């Protein structure tokens, strides 16, 4: 389908329905992300609208002479379309923007936002069949904090020189196996039974309860003491759950640690490579990204 340029802001707003894949920075609240995107969209729409204002056919005031230059300025204005007269044509309240599934304050990465009519359509689909999200979680060993993140007060210190990569990998494999066993237990079947095999053949097993976190995969991808990075595939997880998980892993390794970074690299079919960066949070970038995400569905 060929693309064409649209200069009418009303036409743009009419077709502003769907999903966008935004890269959320760490340390930024969801509400601030939404307001920044909506502010830039409305700013660009108002600029498009200002270009379509026609000059008045009849002068409102007769132009004055050299002694009265103010009348000459009023002569070139259309007071019926002046912002101070009628206000901005497009404001942030006119466009709905809701996250399909939110990210925490300390988490960066893929954030899926629904715009206007795309909110209800896609949010119901995500709630009916939740998608797996993949994370890169970086853990710093040596000291623990109150809220398991680096911006909190330090509580405990410990040595970490005895920790090896193979010990972390073994612990991650053990956690993954326990969560897989837990999924079958929630379904009421034995892991070694024929029913479990038939259940696995049907596809990915998802918990019925939307508040039950389940880890599908956890593995070590980088080890550079005092830091190591885990790749975690999970569902129904939260930022606090992931931070508490790596804190417990550090204790199992006979040391302490805290979560220094959480980065969401994938949410279902949406990947971080196609996320809209902050410099692209404008009308043109949102429309382009929305078109790209439609191809992923």
How many folded domains does the chain comprise? 2
Q: Looking at the structure, do residues 259 and 143 belong to the same domain, yes or no?
A: yes
Q: What CA–CA distance (Å, rounded) separates 237 from 26?
A: 17
Does 181 share its domain with 117? Answer: no
pLDDT score at 105: 96
63 and 72 Cβ atoms separated by less than 8 Å: yes
Average pLDDT for residues 95-99, to the nearest whole number? 91
Return all residues near 211 (Cβ < 8 A) that are at least 6 apart. Answer: 236
**For residue 90, is pLDDT > 60?**
yes
User: Is residue 2 domain-resident?
Assistant: no
Predicted pLDDT at 73? 52
- Higher pLDDT: 50 or 205? It is 205
57 in any annotated domain: no
- Tell whether 153 is covered by a domain: yes
Q: Are residues 147 and 195 in the same domain?
A: yes
5, 204, 205, 274 from 2: Cα distances, Å: 10, 38, 41, 21
Domain encompassing residue 90: 9-52+71-127+271-295
Cβ within 8 Å of residue 244, ≥6 positions away: 148
Residue 93 or 207, more confident: 93
Structure confidence by residue, pLDDT tens digits, 107-160:
999 999 999 888 877 776 676 777 899 999 999 999 999 999 999 999 999 999
Q: Cβ distance 187 to 268 under 8 Å?
A: no
- Evaluate the omega torsion of the peptide bond into residue 226 and state whether it is cis, within 30 degrees of 0: yes
Structure tokens at 219: 């593995």
Q: 134 vs 214, which has greater pLDDT?
A: 134
- Whether 172 has a pLDDT exceeding 90, the answer reads yes
Q: Minimal CA–CA distance to 250: which of 125, 133, 158, 112?
A: 158
Question: Rounded mean pLDDT of 28-36?
Answer: 95
DSSP state letters, 59-81? -SS----TT-THHHHHHT--GGG
Would you state the pLDDT for residue 1?
Answer: 46
Is residue 194 included in any domain, yes or no?
yes
Q: Which pLDDT band holds residue 68 (cuts at 50, 70, 90)?
A: low
């Amino acid at each position: 389908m060929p693309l064409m340029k649209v200069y009418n802001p009303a036409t743009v707003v009419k077709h502003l329905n769907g999903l966008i894949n935004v890269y959320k920075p760490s340390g930024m609240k969801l509400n601030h992300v939404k307001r920044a995107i909506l502010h830039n969209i409305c700013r660009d729409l108002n600029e498009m609208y200002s270009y379509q204002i026609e000059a008045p056919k009849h002068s409102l005031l007769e132009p004055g002479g050299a002694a009265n230059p103010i009348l000459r300025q009023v002569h070139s204005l259309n007071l019926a379309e002046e912002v101070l007269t009628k206000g901005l044509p497009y404001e942030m309240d006119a466009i709905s923007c809701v996250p399909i599934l939110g990210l925490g304050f300390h988490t960066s990465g893929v954030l899926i936002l629904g715009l206007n009519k795309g909110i209800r359509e896609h949010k119901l689909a995500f709630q009916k069949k939740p998608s797996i999200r993949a994370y890169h979680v970086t853990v710093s060993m040596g000291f623990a904090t109150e809220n398991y993140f680096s911006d909190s007060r330090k509580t405990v210190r410990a040595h970490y020189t005895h920790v090896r990569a193979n010990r972390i990998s073994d612990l991650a494999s053990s956690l993954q196996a326990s969560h897989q066993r837990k999924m079958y237990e929630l379904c009421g079947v034995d892991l070694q039974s024929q029913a479990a095999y038939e259940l696995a053949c049907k596809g990915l097993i998802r918990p019925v309860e939307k508040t039950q976190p389940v880890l599908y995969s956890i593995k070590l991808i980088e080890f550079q003491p005092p830091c190591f990075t885990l790749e975690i595939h999970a569902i129904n997880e939260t930022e606090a759950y992931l931070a508490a998980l790596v804190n417990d892993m550090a204790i199992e390794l006979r040391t302490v640690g805290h979560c220094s970074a959480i980065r969401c690299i994938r949410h279902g079919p949406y990947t971080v490579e196609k996320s809209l960066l902050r410099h692209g949070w404008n009308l043109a970038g949102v429309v382009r990204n929305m078109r790209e995400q439609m191809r992923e569905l």
